[in-house]
Amino acid sequence: MNFQLAPDRASNFAGQYDALFYTFSAFAVFFTIAVFVMVVTFVTKYRRGKKANRANPIHHNSLLEAIFMGVPTIIALTMFVFSAKLFVDMRTPPKNSYEVFVIGKQWMWHLQHPNGIRENNELHVPVGQPVKLTMISQDVIHGFFIPDYRVQYQVVPGRYTQLWFTPTKPGKFNLFCTIHCGTQHSEMGGYVYAMEPKDFAEWQATGGNRFKERPKNLADAGKQLYEELLCNNCHMEKDNPRAPSLYGIFQSKRKMTDGTVVEADENYIRESIVNPYNRLNAGYGNQMPIYEYKKQISEEQIRMLLEYIKTLGSAPAPVTTPAPTARGNAAGGQS
């Protein structure tokens, strides 16, 4: 029988997490045994009826008290630093990460690659490259968990969450939902396929060919949807009385009607699409037809719109006709 104490270590975090887990477990076992041994020893030695010497009991020992307080404190602080560093590292994806968008639904995982490839309950990733997952739920809270990678994070409705990892070896690894999300929670699983960079590039090429009629990427799909929903009728190249311009909005500072200033990150833009009245830009009122968009747009479409809006840089310069020259004016006047 092939018994595994733990899943394979297949990501950059696996070794660090296991070291932390086994260290905490070792200290827990050690102190549990130590306390148990001391309790049994003293209960046995000083129980009623034993002829133990109870004269002149020691009530104070500075050295012993310093050891009992100092050693656990040093151990606790060391473990805190170790675990805090790992936590910060797991919450800070590298800038060169390959980003995949994840939507949790009852009861499946829908994944979208930047080049337009989509997967259900499967995730293909390249070995040796950081992979960042930007996740949201379409209904209830889910938990995205890859045991072999030792990564897990909540996927919640109405807000984007992230996790990242770097696959360290090729293979097929389990993917689970870790939060009970309904009657078919146990079926909400899938697989992660870690591939060598060359194989992954070939898979991308093949996967892209399967979707020839689809937009090349999420931003292109978002542009189509943006035009279908007539967003550009109100959100023009420049601010106007009907709506602010969306050119250059991503990561810009926005002043609200209550005087606060917020950064237009992904969560802000998403909220502005589905619940625009929560935080209104200064100078604007309840003009966006919120009831229509809530019914029409899914989480997948919101992601498309968001990716397109992120590509909108500065507004294009207006086309101007060159002013006529003095000679031209004279000629015109003669004609």
What domains are there in the chain, each with its CATH number? 1-47+93-214 (2.60.40.420), 218-311 (1.10.760.10)
Arithmetic mean of pLDDT, 184-197: 92
Alpha-helix residue ranges (DSSP H) falling in the chain:
14-45, 62-90, 197-209, 218-228, 266-274, 290-296, 299-311, 326-334
Alpha-helix residue ranges (DSSP H) falling in 252-298:
266-274, 290-296
pLDDT at 323 over 70: no
**pLDDT tens digits along 117-157:** 888 899 999 999 999 999 999 999 999 999 999 999 999 99
pLDDT attached to residue 45:
82
pLDDT at 291 over 80: no
Q: Would you tell me the crossing angle of helices 62-90 and 14-45 to the nearest 10 degrees?
A: 160
pLDDT attached to residue 217:
82
Among the listed ranges 42-51, 174-183, 310-319, which one has the minimum average pLDDT value? 310-319
- Does the pTM surpass 0.75? The reply is no
pLDDT at 335 over 70: no
In whole angstroms, give the CA distance from residue 215 to residue 203.
18
Task: Name residues whose C-beta falls within 8 Å of residue 285's C-beta, 6 or more positions apart in sequence.
Answer: none
